[in-house]
Amino acid sequence: MLWLAVASQDAQRGNEVLQAHADAQLDEAGRRAASTVIDLDAETSECPACTGTIPQGSARCPECGLRFG
């Protein structure tokens, strides 16, 4: 994890710098996965790793095995 201390008036720019740093560490699939929110109460959700369908109540993606929850 990267921390950055800035003055309150520079907070927005500090967040932009941190986001740019994080984006540079990931490829497109990684950025998509990092920004994905899974609603575990929804009837189905999309897996951030493989875009497969995750049925409600699952602890793993049935297609790629990604564990969540």
Question: For 10-32, what is each residue's pLDDT tens digit?
Answer: 999 999 998 888 888 888 878 77
Query: In the chain, what percentage of residues exceed pLDDT 90?
Result: 25
What is the chain's mean pLDDT, rounded?
85
Domain-embedded: residue 69: no
Half-sphere CA count of 15, side-chain side, radius 13 A: 4
Identity of residue 33: A
Domain-embedded: residue 64: no
Q: Domain of 20? A: 10-55
Q: What pTM, to 2 d.p., does this model score? A: 0.51
Whether 50 and 61 have beta carbons less than 8 Å apart is answered as: yes
pLDDT, position 33: 75
pLDDT at position 64 over 90: yes
Count of domains for the chain: 1
pLDDT, position 63: 94
Instruction: Fill in the DSSP letter of residue 55.
Output: E
